Structure 1
Amino acid sequence: MFTANDFIPSAYSQTIENGSFEWSAPSNIALVKYWGKKANQIPANPSVSFTLKNCKTITKLVFTKKNNSENFSFDLLFEGKPKEDFKPKIQKFFERIEQYLPFLKEYHFTIDTQNTFPHSSGIASSASGMAALAMNLMSLEKALNPEMSEKYFYQKASFLARLGSGSACRSVKGQIVAWGNHANIEGSSDEFGLEFPYSIHENFKKYQDTILLVDKGEKQVSSTVGHDLMHNHPFAEKRFAQAHKNLDKLINIFENGNLEAFIEIVESEALILHAMMMTSMPYFILMKPNTLEIINAIWKFRKATQIPVCFTLDAGANVHVLYPENVKDEVLQFIQKELVGYCQNAQYICDEIGEGATKINSFI
């Protein structure tokens, strides 16, 4: 297993004047949530997530060697148009990762990014966006150092993505990804995400995630602020211990395929996440009335039909409806009949488990 020091390179064997790479990276949805972090984007507790397939960011990185290497130099485009308000976040990201990618100031970059999901849909794009950028930057480093192993490439990409957005480290590689030190997951690390190393039951293959867009507005409290409020939270330590226990349970559930136990863990984790928000100081609520209407409708439908459908939430009002592929038709019919009315402009997105980041093009 690599450590942060392993990601500080020595001299590169190649020189490259210009070129481009293009990668896509997906969003992900946590099953065991991480809420609260230490310095340098280190999680206060471990988490595990489903990698999504369709909700992704596509980023093209064009690079040209420059004469002056005193400062970072980059242009940022979102859907082909300059996006100045994104630039401070990229500047901060470059500052964090410079010691691990010492070539950054030697090039001018044009970063052209777009999302496959609707802009301002309420789906967090920082995970997919930072993962896609990290994959491009690692492609450049691999071109400068062709001897780099595949394992090093992906673990360092996840490590770098984490320094941009914590959950981005779970969007690099694998269908189910664990992040954070956990005693019973071999190779787990606070530094990067790890493709789940144990057996996964057929029940969880091609698992579906239909995302109900309840509220597409900007959250009144950002995730960054929410994480910080865990530092003095009265229930923080109990919560961190609980996450470890729930992750332990999921290891067995993924192996034995127990959907009833899976639902219990996933739904309770979603509600615990929001309970932490409601009991912090200052306290806040990100769920909306329609979020609760959807949750109650899912519970009623599951009880009436015995169909193993459940919900999870991210740090917002939108609802992720999770279910096995073999009940897809029944669940989509239920969503269209009973849940769409609770969505803003009747919008929802159908997604499923994916594999992680994918290279689209490279020219060097």
Structure 2
Amino acid sequence: MKINCFVYKNKKYSIDKNGEVTRKSHSNIALIKYWGKHNKKIQIPLNSSISYSLKNIYTVTRLIYHKHKKEKKNFSIKIFFSGKEKTSFLPKIFDFFHRISFYCSYLLDFNFIIETYNTFPHSSGIASSASSMSALALCVMEIEKKLVSSLEEDFFLKKASFLARLGSGSACRSIYPGLVVWGNHKSIKGSNDFYAIPYPYKIHTIFTKLVNTILIIDEKPKKILSSKGHLLMNSHLYAKERFKSANKNMDSLISILKIGDFQEFGELIEHEALTLHAMIMTSRPYFLWMKPNTINVIQSVWDFRKESKKNIYFTLDAGANVHLLYPIEEKKIILKWIYSDLFSFCKKIIESFCY
């Protein structure tokens, strides 16, 4: 699908002067990590990625719109997060609305109030921008659906993913449930750099019911945001090899998902997580998102896995917090161990599922 088809072209439309829409969107955890984007193009990844959407980890956004009394062809925005006005969010939201206004020109005729909340800490490395920007993109598409009653669901979701990407790269993957692919990859039909697609191939049943337990090591907003880390990949000494490795790992994962080898799956996602943080620690300037308790949890997982022979593996996002993935059949024993042996390392534990 060519991106020109996402441009809204109807100059005359009918819609209530005042209204509101509400959408929920889930966060996601990448298995093959997206890290690095083209510096001359908006939110275009330098390697393909694949993620699971996460149950119980989501953002709810209410978008209230008021049509201008006069033809102003601009918009104003107020944003409230968890009931409190959040002016610090405005620059990113304004930038997002300006980017998408080329594709959603009707936005220029309204003023907006955004009311939003998360079920998890924002800006702490659990992809809050993914769920928040995708929820907002879905709200925008709900407005467009009011303008175009014949809008098909497939187009609705593809354009929502396309718009979400312009706010946060990984947000394009949060539009869909399940395994979702973003970024052109030769082995995945339909994959592209402009919007995400549901993983198109069959997967083994063991990967359809995965538990995701999140250990919140640090719930404070990160001092260095992911957007800055992405930019550092443009001059990174090891960037080219990283992109080759990510695409090679995607090929390996396709085979693993088909045959159901959980050990190979786990070792691959751990390698990807550690590679992401290796890129962070070897960038210029270098920095560190892991905390001492991140390391303590990782070592404990390795020790427990060796002793118990249980299928528990970790992955990390761009932060200190740890995602533990394991089959639902092993939940009872593993979850009991998590609370007894890992609780002391974290601020809180969030129980979730890959869905």
Q: Shorter-normalised TM-score: what interval?
A: over 0.9
Q: Which residue of 2 aligns with 1:61?
A: 63
Q: CA RMSD in A?
A: 1.3
Count of residues paired in the alignment: 351
- Residue 219 of structure 1 deviates from its aligned partner by 2.1
Asked whether the 8 Å contact 1:13–1:145 carries over to 2, the reply is no
The verdict on how the C-alpha distance between 1:119 and 1:250 changes in structure 2, with shifts beyond 3 A counting, is closer
Instruction: Note the C-alpha offset of 1:81.
Output: 2.1
Question: Alignment partner for residue 244 of structure 2, among 241, 245, 263?
Answer: 241
- Please say if residues 214 and 342 of structure 1, whose CA atoms lie closer than 8 Å, have aligned partners that are also in contact: yes
Native 8 Å contact 1:73 1:109 kept in 2:
yes
Counterpart selection for 1:97 from 94, 97, 100: 100
Q: CA deviation at 1:251?
A: 0.9
Q: Residues 45-84 of structure 1: matches in 2 within 5 Å?
A: 45-66=47-68, 67-84=70-87
Is 1:150 the counterpart of 2:149? The answer is no
Equivalent residue, structure 2, for 1:27: 27
Residue matched to 1:336: 339
Q: Which amino acid aligns with 2:27?
A: S
Deviation at 1:174, TM superposition (A): 2.6
Shift, 1:123, TM fit: 2.9
Partner of 1:37: 37
Residue 3 of structure 1 corresponds to which residue in structure 2? Answer: 2
Deviation string for 1:187-218 (max 9, x for gaps)?
00100111000001110112111110111223
Shift of 1:86: 0.9
CA–CA separation in structure 2 for the residues paired with 1:84 and 1:134: 20
Consecutive unaligned residues of structure 1, counting only runs of 5 or more, are: 355-364
Q: Note if contact 2:313-2:324 (Cα within 8 Å) is conserved in structure 1.
A: yes
2:148 and 2:11 map into 1 onto residues whose CA distance is 5
Distance apart, 1:58 and its partner CA: 0.4
Secondary structure (helix, strand or coil) at the match of 1:190 reads: coil
Q: What percent identity do the matched residue pairs reach?
A: 48
- Matches of 1:120 and 1:174 in 2, distance apart? 22
Task: Give 1:167-182 correspondences, 5 Å limit.
Answer: 167-182=170-185
For 1:282, the equivalent position in structure 2 comes to: 285
> What is the distance in 2 between the residues matched to 1:155 and 1:97?
14
For residues 200 and 209 of structure 2, what CA distance do their matches in structure 1 show?
A: 18
Structure 1 equivalent of residue 315 of structure 2: 312
Amino acid at match of 1:349: I
Letter matched to residue 166 of structure 2: L
Which structure ranks higher in relative contact order (CA pairs < 8 Å, sequence separation ≥ 6)?
Answer: 1
Q: Is the 8 A contact 1:162 1:191 kept in 2?
A: yes
The superposition leaves residues 309-363 of structure 1 with CA deviations (integer Å, 9 ceiling, x where unpaired) of 000001111100111111111111111111111103xx11011113xxxxxxxxx
Picking from 290, 296, 304, the partner of 1:301 is: 304
> One-letter code of the match for 1:23?
R
Q: Kindly provide the CA deviation profile for residues 145-167 of structure 1, in whole angstroms up to 9, marking residues without a partner as x.
A: 11222111100000100100110
* Post-superposition offset of 1:220: 2.9
- TM-score, length basis structure 1: 0.94
The two structures have a TM-score, normalised by structure 2, of: 0.96
- 8 Å CA contact 1:122–1:213 kept in 2: the answer is no
1:264 Cα shift? 1.2
